[in-house]
Structure 1
Amino acid sequence: MEMHQVRYFLAVCDHLNFTRAAEHCHVAQPSLTRAIKLLEEELGGALFHRERANTHLSELGRMVRPHLQELYEKSLTAKKEALDFTRLKKARLRLGVMCTIAPNQLVELVTAVQARHPGVDLEIMDASARDLDVRLKEGLLEVAIFCDPRDEEDERLHRLPLFREQMMIAVPPSHRFAGMNAVRVRDLEGECYVNRVSCEFNGVAGPVWRDLGVNWKTIYRSERDDWVLAMVAAGLGFGFMPEHCINHPGVVSRPLVDPEFWREVSLVTVRGRPHSPAVGALVREAVRAPWRRDAPRAEVASR
């Protein structure tokens, strides 16, 4: 059964005249008649009774008409949705964003996508870098924005670098670190630490600090940056956070140096995987966006 046969059948149902049905379908009458005959052979019986001035549906024709009508309407809907998708009139895009990225760093990108591609239905979900990596590879996400300093280069993934950001030490204004231009890793000796569970440097920064002979005490852990910042503001300990995530009025930040830690956030897709036009739109806007790709190096700590 081919869709043009269904369309010709429905046209004859509406006009009850093969000539007028052929004119309506912009096809020669012999072609329409032949298509109806092939459909009748496939369905196993006559669909119409043809008389001189009275063409009407057979019992078989009446029985299959609603089913073929529904089939035809669904095919039109599928075609329209496909065209809308390819022309970006309506396309859903599942974007994963690392939960440690401050919203103000991505608002301009999201705004640009909506302004220039209003047909893109952007669905944003946040998770840790590890979770995003897994969901992206499993096809649960089409694209993600994250970084993971623990990973070796994965050839399965394509990364488009967006921006670099220095990791900072967050403390209340009354803390001794607040009077420094920068904080050396060795200055952390004996300090209380408020740990961000979702920090992409967990398992990376700690071993480096220990190798330098630095010991600290973790007194609080949370997956939520707002709780971490609240604890820091209350004077319970220092935080180790990306520069633009430190947005609490009771917290100041200083660069961590000797050594420094930076994160490079990228837009990540899977190599070789066919991508929708919506992904292409997001990539174009990401390339166009005025990211702060480089940041000044921290000054040497002073007391």
Structure 2
Amino acid sequence: MELQQLRYVVAVAETSNFTRAAERCRVVQSALSHQIAALERELGARLFERTSRRVRLTSAGEAFLPAARECLEAADRARAEVAAASGEIRGRLAVGSIPTVAAVDLPVLLKEFRRRHPRVHITLTSSGSEELIERVRRADVDVAFLGLPPRAEPKAVRSRPLARGELVAVVAPDHRLAGEVTDLRGLAGESFIDFRAGHAGRIQSDQAFAAAGVEREVSFEVSSAEFMVDLVRHGLGVGLLPAAYAPRFANLGIVRLRDAPARVEHLIWTNHPSPAAAAFLDLIGRDDG
């Protein structure tokens, strides 16, 4: 069994197509097919069901795929560790972030990391805090930036708080409260645009309104701050965004809140960071406590 055979299996599983898998691996399709067939003979089991219309994993293939990925990741990690011992950082760095991160300037941070470590392949995933915590637990993501309600802490990952901030209400530019200061009761009766129920960005707002004794109607549930802002600009409701993030959007009314919901941004990382992840954490200025 060879690592190249494992790469071919993973590529076919992810593309569901031998031709696309061969293109990804930069080999001719016949060579890829031959190597997978040789591996199947060695294992004594078919890994893929092939028809004229599609390719899919067999039950044996489903069982084999996670182990194949683990072997490839271990091999990549070994190469990165050897390079790091020689003073060169290489390998993969998978970064995750909530869309509304404000504690760091992420594009500038990634640019500087690439300048310092050009041999590292960087990927970025944008998602909600709950999913990012789970992906860091599974080591699918190396380092992530997220926002949680003040009393919440990320579990089963290494972490440190970056910054605490308050939310502001965002409204259409011609809204009666644009540019004003009020409290949550002053927003009673408004329709709201917010993230889905259970989302960390929604929980902090729900808790704050409940504490203020204000019932609110969330008429529109969105998955991104940009979509929220588009709806707000059209006068469809009031949104809530971090005070440090909202000014990025033009033509938007800002309402400061005396009893504003708060959130804490956290930096989280895997329990055993790779050399690339360790270098990224050092660039940020991690504190291992």
TM-score under structure 1 length normalisation: 0.60
Q: Say whether 1:192 aligns with 2:191.
A: yes
Contact 2:95 2:144 in 1 (8 A): yes
Contact 2:96 2:127 in 1 (8 A): yes
CA 1:160–1:97: 2 relative to 1, 3 Å: same
Name the stretch that deviates more: 161-170 or 108-117: 161-170
CA 1:267–1:103: 2 relative to 1, 3 Å: closer
Superposition pairs of residues 87-166 of structure 1, within 5 angstroms: 87-101=87-101, 105-149=105-149, 152-154=152-154, 156-166=156-166
2:93 corresponds to which letter in structure 1?
L
Q: Which residue of 1 aligns with 2:257?
A: 256
**CA distance in structure 1 between the aligned counterparts of 2:157 and 2:104, rounded to whole angstroms:** 26
CA 1:163–1:110: 2 relative to 1, 3 Å: farther
**CA distance in structure 1 between the aligned counterparts of 2:81 and 2:158, rounded to whole angstroms:** 27
RMSD over aligned Cα, in angstroms? Answer: 2.9
Q: Which residue of 2 aligns with 1:275?
A: 273
**CA distance in structure 2 between the aligned counterparts of 1:277 and 1:82, rounded to whole angstroms:** 6
| CA offsets 1:113-170 (integer angstroms, 9 cap, x no match) | 1122222221111111000111111222222111222764456332233333321100
Q: Which residue of 1 aligns with 2:235?
A: 235
Give the number of equivalent residue pairs: 208
**CA distance in structure 2 between the aligned counterparts of 1:201 and 1:89, rounded to whole angstroms:** 35
Give 3-state SS (helix, strand or coil) of 1:140's partner. coil
Give 3-state SS (helix, strand or coil) of 2:209's partner. helix
Give the gaps of 5 or more residues in structure 1. Answer: 1-76, 289-303
| CA offsets 1:264-289 (integer angstroms, 9 cap, x no match) | 2222124xx3221111111111119x
CA 1:109–1:163: 2 relative to 1, 3 Å: farther
* 1:80 CA drift (Å): 6.8
Contact 1:96 1:127 in 2 (8 A): yes
**CA distance in structure 2 between the aligned counterparts of 1:141 and 1:83, rounded to whole angstroms:** 21
CA 1:256–1:97: 2 relative to 1, 3 Å: same
Q: Which residue of 2 aligns with 1:284?
A: 282
Name the stretch that deviates more: 249-258 or 168-177: 249-258
Q: Which residue of 2 aligns with 1:173?
A: 173
Contact 1:169 1:183 in 2 (8 A): no
**CA distance in structure 1 between the aligned counterparts of 2:112 and 2:176, rounded to whole angstroms:** 42
Contact 1:142 1:275 in 2 (8 A): yes
Structure 1 runs of 4+ aligned residues shifted over 6 Å read 77-81
Give 3-state SS (helix, strand or coil) of 1:229's partner. helix
Superposition pairs of residues 63-102 of structure 1, within 5 angstroms: 83-84=82-83, 86=85, 87-101=87-101
Contact 1:88 1:120 in 2 (8 A): no
Give 3-state SS (helix, strand or coil) of 1:177's partner. coil
Contact 2:190 2:216 in 1 (8 A): yes
Give 3-state SS (helix, strand or coil) of 2:200's partner. coil
| CA offsets 1:60-90 (integer angstroms, 9 cap, x no match) | xxxxxxxxxxxxxxxxx99876533543342
Q: Which residue of 2 aligns with 1:292?
A: none
**CA distance in structure 1 between the aligned counterparts of 2:234 and 2:79, rounded to whole angstroms:** 57
CA 1:136–1:212: 2 relative to 1, 3 Å: same
Give the gaps of 5 or more residues in structure 2. Answer: 1-75
Superposition pairs of residues 283-302 of structure 1, within 5 angstroms: 283-287=281-285
**CA distance in structure 2 between the aligned counterparts of 1:212 and 1:78, rounded to whole angstroms:** 50
